[in-house]
Amino acid sequence: MKTFKDAVQTKDFAIAAEVFLRPETDATSLCEQARLLNDAVDAVLLTDNQYGQLHMSTIAAASILLDAGIDPIVQMACRNRNRIALISDMLGAAAIGVTSLLLVAGERAPPELKPRPKPVLDLAATELIRTAAKLKLDERLGYCPDFLVGGIVTPLIPKASWKATKLTEKIEAGAQFVQTHICMDTRVLTAYMKHLVEKKFIRRTSVIGAVAVLESAEDAEWLRENRPSANVPDQVVDRLRSATDPKAEGIRICAETLQAIAEIPGMAGANIMAARDLQTIPEVIRAAGVT
């Protein structure tokens, strides 16, 4: 079975995509979603209760995908569980054959979610990455999880004095790859990667860009309002608003962005999120000419 871990380590450009995990998602619908993507991507990312969205456990979802011959990237968020629960989930993930983890702090739950869940945050994201890295070397375990461990970063146009402190901390903690927050501004990604190449960060970690297929100006505005770390330039919103076929225009925009990302020196791959229709993701990949 192809894996994201193998793709990051051996391919020029690895591709992953997110499925929709919702309260109504069951094993059948999860596999149907993943099969729409599997021929086009190296792995499927399972997000961990983003924005308080309730759904099946990502470990259970990963087990279902592995049984179907599809490689999962399991996201784990510090917001929802303490360190004992997080380590237990890592051991469970290793036991079923998960090879890639994306470890994050976790987003705030939306204000309309009632009753309000308490954020746990027993560990910070960098501490969770360090914990996963130590787990891989723990000789007390009957098996050592050989995860590809990843974290999240926010791309920016760096000033000359920028120290990349958070990125450095995550790499030193054991992040073998970092995925950016959604960034549809290739100017920012190009400047960001230029700095990482010059400072030799890419010798120590792989960088995965994140993009989104937006089907309307309203989708773009929602993303900007609800994901503060996402970068959706005004020209993207304007193109969607003025398009006679916003869905087709959203596919073109994402394909152009993906193609540009693949050509940025040092970029190791991309993760693609669809706002509404997963079938748009293979369309984007074909249109971008990235395989």
Output phi, psi for 243, to 5 deg: -75, 140
pTM: 0.95
Domains of the chain: 4-288 (3.20.20.220)
Beta strands (DSSP E) in the chain are: 14-18, 43-46, 72-77, 100-104, 148-153, 177-182, 206-213, 267-274
Q: Sorting pLDDT into bands at 50, 70 and 90, what band is 113?
A: low
3-class DSSP state for residue 15? strand
| pLDDT recorded at residue 91 | 95
Q: How far apart are CA 78 and CA 72, in angstroms?
A: 19
For CA atoms 152, 158, 9, 279, the dihedral sign is: positive
User: How many angstroms separate the CA atoms of 27 and 15, rounded?
Assistant: 23
Instruction: Kindly report, residue by residue over 91-101, the tens digit of the pLDDT.
Output: 999 999 999 99
Is the previous residue joined to 115 through a cis bond, with omega within 30 degrees of 0?
A: yes
pLDDT tens per residue, range 204-256: 999 999 999 999 999 999 999 888 899 999 999 999 999 999 999 999 999 99
